[in-house]
Amino acid sequence: MELTYRPRRLRSGENIRRMCWETRVSADSLIYPIFVDETLTGRCPIDSLPGQYRYGLDCVTAAVRECQEAGVSRCMLFGIPAHKDALGSSAWDKNGVVQQAIKAIKAMYPAFYVITDVCMCEYTDHGHCGALCDHAVDNDATLELLCKVALSHAEAGADMVAPSDMMDGRVAAIRKALDTAGFTNTPIMAYSAKYASAFYGPFRSAAGSAPSFGDRKGYQMDPHNRKEALKECALDVQEGADIIMVKPALSYLDVIRECADAFDVPMAAYSVSGEYAMIKAAAQAGLVDEHRIMCESALSVFRAGANILITYYAKELAKAMQKGEL
């Protein structure tokens, strides 16, 4: 048969296929989430996230060493404090759990890049992401608290701060607070399009951060919306975000693609706890090949336009990348 185009020609063997790969990935794109628990000595497995741990302050550097050994040089820190109150005041305590963890990591691994999640929900006794006023989160009052948190992280030595609260105006407020204190070189990675998602379930049981009443729909985005994500990203970029993020990843690949095309800042995606837990559960049930699903899922996020991926599989992915498996 006479055929001008035979796309299969470029698929005829491993060598030619690899030459034609359109998406090329690197372990430099990966960020590993680390949970530090102030109440813990040693490390404790997280039931909702098989293979993941909460680390005590005594062994958070061991978590970093494991990253380094796997070829991952960046982490996102989440804190689980000993004390919670209505305002979440231990979030900006200079001896708080995240602040101590940053110092411990930086003392031992100064070149390891430490990004901190800036939010209140792990620190408030009601589990919402800010200060309450009549059972709703008060946007403007929360901005002041977030600035204190971000600043305390920068003062402890964080390389980058990542606000995940979804308050309006937080990037501008945090940028101003950092600049005023002399942290003009500390970048902000904004959780710009963060959806009110059921995929955060396993994280909330891991971090003890589920809201005690209601939900987060008053501040996180509605999954029906796409243009609103462009708006949120545009606002964050205008306010000075250095990197924008879409979260979750797999159910929002369309949003990643649109935002990556629309803005000229690096694009991050967070492959969240529920995405990880679903793959683990399906693999444990013998339904899918975990390793291949992990690689294919990560690849889809990069193909959609993300340059940076935050994932609980960071270490396994880095090893797979080094072997040239994706």
CB of 152 to ligand PBG, least distance (A): 17
User: What is the C-alpha radius of gyration for the chain, rounded to an integer number of angstroms?
Assistant: 20
For residue 45, the minimal CB distance to ligand PBG (Å) is: 16
- Cβ neighbours for 128, distance < 8 A, ≥ 6 positions apart: 120, 121, 137, 211, 214, 216
Burial profile 183-201: b = 16 or more Cβ within 10 angstroms, e = fewer: beebbbbbbbbbbebebbe
Nearer to ligand PBG, 120 or 321 (CB): 120
Nearer to ligand PBG, 265 or 272 (CB): 272
Secondary structure, 3-state, 95-154:
CCHHHHHHHHHHHHCCCCEEEEEECCCCCECCCCCCCEECCEECHHHHHHHHHHHHHHHH
- Minimum distance between the CB of residue 1 and ligand PBG, rounded to whole angstroms? 51
Q: Residue 326 has what DSSP assignment?
A: -
In the complex, residue closest to ligand PBG by CB = 203
Closest CA to 149 of 102, 90, 78: 90
Of 29 and 273, the one with the shorter C-beta distance to ligand PBG is: 273
Considering the complex, state which of residue 64 and residue 272 has its C-beta at the smaller distance from ligand PBG: 272
CB of 252 to ligand PBG, least distance (A): 13
**Residue closer to ligand PBG (CB basis): 89 or 209:** 209
Of the two residues 142 and 164, which places its CB atom closer to ligand PBG in the complex? 164
Active-site annotation, residues? 194, 247
Residues 93 and 122: beta-carbon distance below 8 Å: no
**Contact partners, residue 302, CB within 8 Å, separation at least 6:** 23, 25, 29, 309
What CA–CA distance (Å, rounded) separates 98 from 158? Answer: 9
Binding site for ligand PBG (CB under 6 A): 117, 119, 121, 129, 164, 200, 203-204, 209, 272-273
Residue 171 C-beta: closest distance to ligand PBG, Å: 15
168: left (phi over 0), alpha (psi -120 to 50) or beta: beta
Distance CA 118, CA 167 (A): 11
Shortest Cβ 26–ligand PBG spacing (Å): 22
